[in-house]
Amino acid sequence: MRDRWILSAAVFLSVAFLLSFVQLKVENPLLIFERFFEGGGWVEIFLISIYGGVVAWFMHDAQKSGKWRRTTWLIFSIVFFSQLLLGLFVSEKFLMTGHLHLPIPMMIISGPIYRGQFSIMTILFLSTILLSGPSWCSHFCYFGALDSLGAGRSRKRKTLGKIWNLKLPMLVIIIFSAIVLRAFNVEVLTSTIIAAGFGVAGLLVIMVYSTRTGKMAHCLVWCPVGTVVSGLKHVNPFRLKITDSCTSCMLCTSHCKYDALKKEDILNRKPGLTCTLCGDCVTSCHAGSLQYKFLSLSPKTSRNLYLGITITLHAMTMVLAKI
């Protein structure tokens, strides 16, 4: 119980402290409440800090963390898209700059290449990789929550095979396309239509493949952001390890939507590259062989540290991520 209180309080204070800098230092308000009435940002900071503390309190329980992760991830997605709709039909104050950008994860990579400048979403994305490894793909991505819902419709977990045969070419195609569009000064409307088509195709991947395979096919195969996460996540020390106490019963494979616990991964005692540290598999292991690892810290401390950092980022990103 003591650890639970400490984790909850740490997240509350961390969110409040970090967002206070945003409130004080950013000239153009990023917090929605501040845009509508002076001092409203402080109210929003207090409310989102409480939210972060509550989420940390419930996710501390390993048996319930998976359910809470998926629930709060869906809440994040709902808040994100609600702000977009409010920005379109109610007030531009709900948008980041008043200028609309497509709410497609692929734009986090292709957008800066096409425009020649970074966006707040790109900065937030890279920050999550540095601070909590691959958690973007299990806690923050607004499309990923939809993919998780789709994959959850099937109780069976079918392997997607050698997904890197598709993932890497997809990333190369996205980057190359953005470079070509910029080099030939293709107008924004045409580029937007192309990107929108990619987004619609991604939704079809979720409806057709994720729902049938029980795996997050959009995140694993279609989305280039997931490929970048898988390639860069090791700049962060957080890991999920499979200890020698593993009996190779393969029960955990049925709990992984990211295709990171195939039979060969279990036998090699190492999760696959697509592991996002979501933790859904941890409680499925009766031998306790799946554990969080951070440098030389104990598995318990490593998990608490991961939760603290990730939930703090989740709460902050919820109020900062806008189109």
Per residue in 234-264, pLDDT (tens digit) is: 999 999 999 999 999 998 988 899 999 988 9
Kindly report, residue by residue over 13-45, the tens digit of the pLDDT. 999 999 999 999 888 888 999 999 999 999 999
Helix segments in the chain, DSSP class H:
2-25, 32-36, 40-59, 62-89, 107-115, 120-132, 144-151, 164-183, 188-205, 211-213, 217, 224-232, 263-267, 299-320
How far is 247 from 265, CA to CA, in rounded Å? Answer: 13
pLDDT tens sequence across 95-151: 876 555 678 888 889 888 988 887 777 888 899 999 999 999 999 998 899 999 999
Distance of CA 49 to the CA centre of its chain: 19
- C-alpha distances (whole Å) from 276 to each of 215, 247, 304 are 13, 23, 16
Q: Residue 26's pLDDT is what?
A: 84
Query: Does residue 160 register a pLDDT over 80?
Result: no
Average pLDDT value over all residues in the chain: 90
| CA atoms of 275 and 229, how far apart (whole Å) | 10
Q: Taking the model in full, what pTM does it have? A: 0.92
Q: What are the residues facing 238 on neighbouring strands? A: 294
pLDDT for residue 97: 64
Q: Which DSSP letter does residue 42 get?
A: H
Whole-number percent of the chain with pLDDT over 70: 97
User: What is the rounded CA–CA span in Å between residue 148 and residue 138?
Assistant: 9
User: What are the structure tokens assigned to 88, written together?
Assistant: 């379109």
Distance CA 134, CA 130 (A): 9
Cα pseudo-dihedral 187, 188, 191, 192, rounded to 10: -150
Of the candidate ranges 28-37, 86-95, 268-277, the one whose mean pLDDT is the lowest: 86-95
Residues with Cβ within 8 Å of 296's Cβ and at least 6 positions away in sequence, in order, are none
User: β-strand 290-294 against 238-242: which pairing, if any?
Assistant: antiparallel
Q: What is the pLDDT of residue 51?
A: 98
